Structure 1
Amino acid sequence: MVGLSLKQANKIRVKVLGLIRNQNQIFVCEGYDSVKQQTYYRALGGSIDFGEDSLSALQREFQEEIQAELTNIKYLGCVESIFTFEARQSHEILQVYSCDFADSKFYQVKELFFTELSADTPIKALWTDISSFKSGKLKLVPEGFCDFI
């Protein structure tokens, strides 16, 4: 979700993201590009497996990453993202859904850490003010994602 492996280079990846709001905040994970020396934020989600629809992938990714069930899931749209991360060009097609946590405990956490199946480094997920992204104070990726919030 946050980083890219070498074997993923030069391929278009199809992913899904879940936009979860809590009043004036959204739930995002924090990443860092060491080449750009830049922190960025992205909604949780991940890759859609071959033969899997995007809704099922969204539910699976949240279950795998933070053991969370989702409810009130609604399709918002699609974003195409061509970007550079860690000095490598990447290309993603992202299906975007709005959703809620089924368990209210997730609305109480300030931050939580999880590790992706394909990585060893813990990833921080947290609630962040929407105004920080809209003002440009914090970087929300992919470009165009702000249109959904």
Structure 2
Amino acid sequence: MAKAGEIRVIALGLIRDGDRFANAKGDRIFVSEGYDPVKQETFYRALGGGVEFGETSHAALKREFQEEIQAELKNIKYLGCIESLFTFNGKQGHEIIQLYQCDFVDSKFYELESLIFSESQHHKHKALWIDISRFESGELRLVPEVFFEYL
């Protein structure tokens, strides 16, 4: 999380699964689950994280997936830049998102229902596959909403 009043640059990876396997259950994306205690609301976002000084967003994307879920990425393709203004836990946030489409190198990630990963000692997160239709119907919330333009 950025300090108050700072803009955070992040790299996120949009990973889809659908037509990859004949037995796939619909068109899914791999997302991390978040919860806002102030709004008492669960939301979902593509995985990734902060770009460090002197690091490209492409390199940050690969590093974040390696650090968080020990996954290597392939077929990494730049999709675009999104500016996101939001409120989380009662605080204003501002992110510049470098969005990439990518695939997992190891096919085992496509067979998982979900996995738990740690961003730090105190923050555990769940990553899981969710059918895109559940976001489109409004049943679940995908953030930022402009992600729909890239699905």
- Does 2:63 align with 1:68? no
Superposed displacement of residue 53, structure 1: 0.3
Identical positions, percent: 62
Runs of 4+ displaced beyond 3 Å: none
Matches of 2:123 and 2:74, distance apart in 1? 28
Matched with 1:34 is 37
Partner of 1:120: 122
**Taking structure 1 as the reference length, what is the TM-score of the superposition?**
0.93
Is 1:40–1:140's contact at 8 Å kept on the other side of the alignment?
yes
SS of 2:71's equivalent in the other structure is coil
Please list every run of 5 or more consecutive structure 1 residues that lacks an aligned counterpart in the other structure.
none
Partner of 1:48: 51
2: distance between equivalents of 1:79 and 1:87?
Answer: 22
Q: Distance in 2 between matches of 1:33 and 1:76?
A: 27
- Of residues 6, 9, 13 in structure 1, which corresponds to 2:4? 9
Choose which of 72, 76, 81 in structure 2 pairs with 1:78. 81
Partners of 1:130 and 1:96 in 2: how far apart?
A: 17
The alpha carbon displacement at 1:55 in A equals 0.4
**What's the RMSD between the two structures over aligned residues?**
1.0
TM-score normalized by the length of structure 2 = 0.92
Contact 1:81 1:143 (8 Å CA) reproduced: no
Residue segments in structure 2 that go unaligned for 5+ positions in a row: 19-26
1:22 offset after TM fit, Å?
0.6
Cα offset for 1:105?
0.3
Size of the alignment, in residue pairs?
143
